[in-house]
Amino acid sequence: MQICAINRATLACLLLAGSSAGLADDEFTSFVDAVKGGSVNLDFRYRFEGVDQDGISKNAKASTLRSRISAVTASFHGFTVLGEVDNVSTVGWDDYNSTENGKTQYPVVADPTGTEVNQVYLKYTMDAANGIYGRQRINYSNQRFVGGVAWRQNEQTFDGFRGNWQALDNVNLDYSYTYRVHRVFGPDDGSNPAEWDGDNNFLYIDWKVADGHNIGFFGYWIDVDSQHDYPPPKTVNNSSESYGLEYVGKIAMLDVRAAYASQSDDGDSELDYDTEYYLAEVGGTLGGVGIKAGYEVLAADNGVGFATPLATLHKFQGWADKFLSTPGDGVEDLYLGMSGDLGPFKLEAVYHDFQAESSSEDFGDELDLAATWPVNEYFTTQLKGAIFNADGDSYTDTNKVWLTLQLKI
């Protein structure tokens, strides 16, 4: 499956390379110059992740290195080609459940080891539009519905087409069709599928109403195929259709984000529900300290919570990742964050209070802390932690700590 997927994603790239045989001498020279004029980049990210989770007797200690090489050509008649390969290896401790290594006596750290093509695509750019075909990173808006999950060592990427058109000076249309999702659990299947096949359509219309005021209209249609080795909750029941809009702007001294969406089951899903999503967030700066407060609701219907399985979920509802799947009675997240600089360090703290949306259960609260030191333009370090205190029986106390060292060349 992996070889076949790579072949489909690289077909257009190979056609472009093969067509060089029919180029005139001056065009061939330009083609070679485009290759020579490209760039190669290296990215090494080491991470230690420790997890102490009630109900699991052993603590997880994961020491991993993500090594990435990327190469992109210069433009040739509007065309560029990009290729990117990732390798994830353990360096030292490997006492963790990667979801693929079978070490279920440890808490999950979803960073399986392996090597795969992360991106490979052909891109064509015009004055007001561009199109990409191949395996690619896809991020929409703040990644609440569709994102690359770049936090994990094995990034989530998509096989398919994405087109972007600046229809008017203040209106941009962004559409994607993808037929395969390469998930963070890959490159090999484990307790979760490494890939999802299916027909996914994403549409986002960005309307700049005025300076500092943007409204986005979106539709996300997710249709995941059945995989006989996995039950419906891990495949087809993730199929849904979502419609919504969001506002991002600045009102007086406040940064404001607000969103609403509705969702129902789609495709071959065995679920039957119709539910909603709400977000209201405000932020600003006071005395050099950034402050934000927000309220996010993923509601529930018929025992099914509003789901965003293709999102960069680590960015939302706490870094402890307790709500990667929305509970059957939904979830309300009331949060308050602060950020600022202390010498060379960028500090951040966020407090969350989690409640059920359609019942009276109190899920718990969480405190997230981070200190980031961008040493220079090439090297960044970060120390980060999450403390989740559970209430009730639905979740368990969980503490996590991360040390990240990243070098980009």
Q: Which amino acid is at 334?
A: L
How far does CA 98 lie from the centroid of its chain?
Answer: 18
**Residue 34 burial (C-beta neighbours within 10 Å; 0-12, 13-18, 19+):** middle
**Domain residue limits, the chain:** 2-41+63-251
Q: What integer is the mean pLDDT of 392-408?
A: 97
pLDDT in tens, 91-148: 999 999 999 999 999 999 999 999 999 999 999 999 999 999 999 999 999 999 999 9
Q: pTM of the full predicted structure?
A: 0.92
Measuring CA to CA, which residue among 253, 6, 217 is closest to residue 121?
A: 6
- Give the pLDDT confidence score for residue 14 in this predicted structure: 44
Distance CA 248, CA 129 (A): 23
Distance CA 270, CA 225 (A): 12
Measuring CA to CA, which residue among 171, 264, 175, 267 is closest to residue 226?
A: 267
Structure tokens at 284: 């600003």
- Give the pLDDT confidence score for residue 239 in this predicted structure: 98
- Give the pLDDT confidence score for residue 4 in this predicted structure: 46
Instruction: Indicate whether 1 pLDDT > 70.
Output: no
Measuring CA to CA, which residue among 321, 317, 283 is closest to residue 398?
A: 321
Instruction: Indicate whether 6 pLDDT > 60.
Output: no
pLDDT in tens, 315-331: 999 999 999 999 999 99
Place of tokens 């409204």: 215
Indicate the SS3 state at residue 175: strand
Cis peptide preceding 231, ω within 30 of 0: no
How open is the CA angle 41-406-143, to the nearest 5 degrees? 85
Q: What integer is the mean pLDDT of 285-307?
A: 97
Instruction: Indicate whether 2 pLDDT > 70.
Output: no
Average the pLDDT over each of 4-8, 24-28, 205-209, 211-215 and give the range with the smallest value: 4-8
Measuring CA to CA, which residue among 152, 188, 182 is closest to residue 64?
A: 152
Q: What percent of the chain has pLDDT over 90?
A: 90
Instruction: Indicate whether 15 pLDDT > 80.
Output: no
Distance from the first to the final alpha carbon of the chain: 32
Q: What integer is the mean pLDDT of 371-398?
A: 97
Q: What integer is the mean pLDDT of 365-377?
A: 98
- Return mean pLDDT, the chain: 93
Structure tokens at 329: 């009675």
pLDDT in tens, 39-83: 999 999 999 999 999 999 999 999 999 999 999 999 999 999 999
Q: Phi and psi for 255 in degrees, rounded to 5?
A: -90, 130
